Structure 1
């Protein structure tokens, strides 16, 4: 199936995709404030520039888009056009995520990934469920976890490629 846009239009559309203050980041920020956590946003001094840094809990939170970070959920679909290009690009994102999480852990940070599907879409978690999961993890002292439509569970990080 061919792309419905010409190259210039597709390029313009892709450039318009924001990397900060996205809808899912805004929703998560509101929930963190409602629970009462103080946080910093997008600290460039830390590996991966985490979306939220909670110093009091020595933890960082990433909000990952299911497509861009290849989450195994209903929001991720392999593109029908330029498939090799997209799989390579997304694969590099996943490898970078693993590297950044490993570096953060080595620096003593705890890491939580909140997936887009937990924050938006037909299977999203409601605010109460999300706030409970956030508070549970931040206060628990657990090292790494993820929140998706299934709730909260361990985050398995593959070691980054060293090649």
Structure 2
């Protein structure tokens, strides 16, 4: 395992959130935010309002910058997020998860918790010098972020759709040459 479970889950959530801005755009309704909240096992305050949805959607450009920047810039961005939120890391145990780190309280807005949990996960990425685990989709028509947790660092596409589209294009190219 490269990272602890909470780090992996936070990185996966951040990538999903950032990629929700790509065409076709998702995370456009409160119901989709509810599903996102449940999918990535968030706990604490969840207002289920349009305002909360817009606050979470507003995180996407900053998280994209954080996850696609160089290591030094990422460290600066992490420090900014944590300082702005007045984050104080503490060990928490709840639900199906053993001890893990939260840095803001459960009553903070969901957007704040997502930003801080992503920043905390990025601390592990930066400290382990694993920024190469994050990159951009190899599909020329996609601007999605890729989280590569594979052992051999071979993940190139952000989604199954991009993987399949490129596999079909490569197959057709080979067939036309034959």
Q: With a CA cutoff of 8 Å and minimum separation of 6, indicate the structure with the bigger relative contact order.
A: 2
TM-score by length of 1: 0.27
Which protein is richer in strand relative to its size?
Answer: 1
TM-score by length of 2: 0.26
Higher CA-based Rg: 2
Which protein is richer in helix relative to its size?
Answer: 2
